[in-house]
Amino acid sequence: MSILIKNVMLNGKETSIHVEGNTIDGIGKKEKAEYVIDGKGKAAIPGFVNTHTHSAMTLLRGYADDLKLHDWLTKHIWPLEAKMTEEDVYWGTKLACLEMIKSGTTCFSDNYWHMPAVARAADEMGMRAVVCEVFMDLGDPERGEAEKKKQVTLLKKIREMGNERITFALAPHAPYTVSPENLGWIKDLADREGLLVNMHLAETEKENAEFFVRHRKRPVPFLEDIGFLGGNLICAHSIWLTRRDISILERHNVKVAHNPVSNMKLGSGVLPYKQMMASGLIISLGTDGCASNNDLDMFESMKFAALLQKVHDYDPTIMPAQEAFYMATINGAETLRINAGVIKPGKLADITLVDLKRPELVPNRNLMANLVYSAKGSCVDTVLCNGEILMEAGKVEGEDEILEKAQEVAEDLFSR
């Protein structure tokens, strides 16, 4: 189908955007299309790319807050996750997709269990997704073998879906939960098959200290020594890094997925943003899961990212609005290797329209500042992904059913 978004604000002036199939094929040129969207009073921005989340954790929203990380994980999150079925993950992910679409996100990178359910939900909701099944062996060779088999099966399954929006990636949980041998196996598979690799890295000071005791090395030099680092690796969190760690990551073109809201809520720490920027690392933005955020609003994550750096260094000039916006869009697209993150001809038609007629966006003097410091997900009016309309005038098809089913599934999960 062809779509024309007319009279829309783009980069400071009113123009039109023409979409043919899944691609933007013209700005301000063509005047006709099979479907026309009136963009008057709206601004077009690239759909956000959320590079680190655990979508189905929407079901755990408000379940365990204000707790120490270790208690939170071992006493609350893990025991409940162990009870989750594929059906739970399906509805949790549907709810996550709904929330992401309504707040202007078109692509997400997911780390969770029951991946086929995640892929099915993303497929149905029309979103672009990088899907992973978390790989964790805890040093147990038998578990490792089973995990490896599972990954190969899932890779095949996702490829058989043949959905251009859904990509399989590998997700070794963290350097301290996967054996070096299996990290090597993952690296080989990823290189051979051209896959992205998602991993948690240096989220807490404690995990680094324990790793050092075990391996007599910090995680980053260790990963370099075993040949694990590369341009296809995306490291979530990456807080507790030395300057040397950062320069090693940069040398190998490793990408960082920053999760400011989660890092603050869990009291984990502050991304060494200034040092990372100085080194030239690509940093993108994630919300993390709803148990540690507790929402999936990328507008909010941009504001938290920028303000956290400013107060941390007592310097309001750090991470100006534009940088936070790039993290949430073009850097995310580069990280996930999708041809999006910016609105111009030849790019994928992943587009969000922001309603400018809202008190928090008036006056509209500096749209970039308004987007990062004032806008919320609720300012989003219309969302296109891959040239399909996922939301128009604030409405997503089937949203009431998703809210009801997700509530039902969550209640059932808690009663088990």
- Contacting a second copy within 296-355 (CB under 8 A): 296-297, 300, 304, 306-308, 310-311, 313-321
Give which of 286, 403, 365, 315 is closest to 48, Cα–Cα: 286
- If one asks whether residue 89 binds a second copy (CB under 8 A), the answer comes out as no
* Among 367, 383, 385, 391, contact with a second copy (rule: CB under 8 A): 367
Judged by CB under 8 A, the chain residues 208 through 267 that form the site for a second copy are: 261, 263-267
With contacts defined by CB under 8 A, how many residues of the chain interact with a second copy?
A: 72
Interface region with a second copy, contact rule CB under 8 A, candidates 91-99, 111-119, 124-132, 230-238: 91-99
User: Which CB, 118 or 196, lies closer to a second copy?
Assistant: 118
Amino acid at 74: T
* Among 102, 128, 187, 255, contact with a second copy (rule: CB under 8 A): 102
- If one asks whether residue 21 binds a second copy (CB under 8 A), the answer comes out as no
User: Helix (H, G, I), strand (E, B), or coil: what is residue 74?
Assistant: helix
d(CA 299, CA 172): 28
- If one asks whether residue 12 binds a second copy (CB under 8 A), the answer comes out as no
Q: Which token pair is 356? A: 């400018």
Q: Which token pair is 271? A: 């991304």
Alpha-carbon dihedral sign for residues 190, 126, 23, 160: positive
* Shortest distance (Å) from residue 287 CB to a second copy: 11
Judged by CB under 8 A, the chain residues 55 through 74 that form the site for a second copy are: 58-59, 61-63, 65-69, 72
- If one asks whether residue 410 binds a second copy (CB under 8 A), the answer comes out as yes
Instruction: Dump strand ranges (E) for 142-244.
Output: 166-168, 171-172, 197-201, 233-237
User: Which CB, 230 or 398, lies closer to a second copy?
Assistant: 398
* Among 362, 393, 397, 401, contact with a second copy (rule: CB under 8 A): 362
b vs e for 313-335, b when ≥16 Cβ sit within 10 Å of the residue's Cβ?
eeeeebbebebbbbbbbbbbbbb
8-state DSSP, 56 = G
* Shortest distance (Å) from residue 372 CB to a second copy: 8
HSE value, Cβ hemisphere, 13 Å, CA-based, for 117: 20
- If one asks whether residue 142 binds a second copy (CB under 8 A), the answer comes out as no
- If one asks whether residue 364 binds a second copy (CB under 8 A), the answer comes out as yes
Interface region with a second copy, contact rule CB under 8 A, candidates 48-56, 97-105, 346-354, 382-390: 97-105
Interface region with a second copy, contact rule CB under 8 A, candidates 158-166, 247-255, 279-287, 372-380: 372-380
- If one asks whether residue 153 binds a second copy (CB under 8 A), the answer comes out as no
> Residues 299, 373: contact at Cβ < 8 Å?
no
* Among 12, 359, 415, 416, contact with a second copy (rule: CB under 8 A): 359
d(CA 80, CA 239): 27
8-state DSSP, 303 = H
> Residues 377, 96: contact at Cβ < 8 Å?
no
* Shortest distance (Å) from residue 293 CB to a second copy: 7
- If one asks whether residue 407 binds a second copy (CB under 8 A), the answer comes out as yes
The answer to whether the peptide bond before residue 363 is cis (omega within 30 degrees of 0) is yes
From first CA to last CA, the distance across the chain in angstroms is 46
* Shortest distance (Å) from residue 336 CB to a second copy: 23
- If one asks whether residue 393 binds a second copy (CB under 8 A), the answer comes out as no
* Among 8, 9, 44, 95, contact with a second copy (rule: CB under 8 A): 95
User: Which CB, 112 or 228, lies closer to a second copy?
Assistant: 112
Quick note: the x/- pattern for a second copy over 257-276, rule CB under 8 A, is ----x-xxxxxxxx------
Q: Which token pair is 124? A: 């149905």
Give which of 190, 282, 197, 269 is closest to 237, Cα–Cα: 269
- Pairing of β 255-258 and β 23-27: unpaired
* Shortest distance (Å) from residue 359 CB to a second copy: 4
> Residues 405, 413: contact at Cβ < 8 Å?
no
Interface region with a second copy, contact rule CB under 8 A, candidates 47-55, 140-148, 341-349, 376-384: 376-384
Q: Which residues, at least 6 apart from 368, have a Cβ–Cβ distance to it below 8 Å?
A: 321, 322, 325
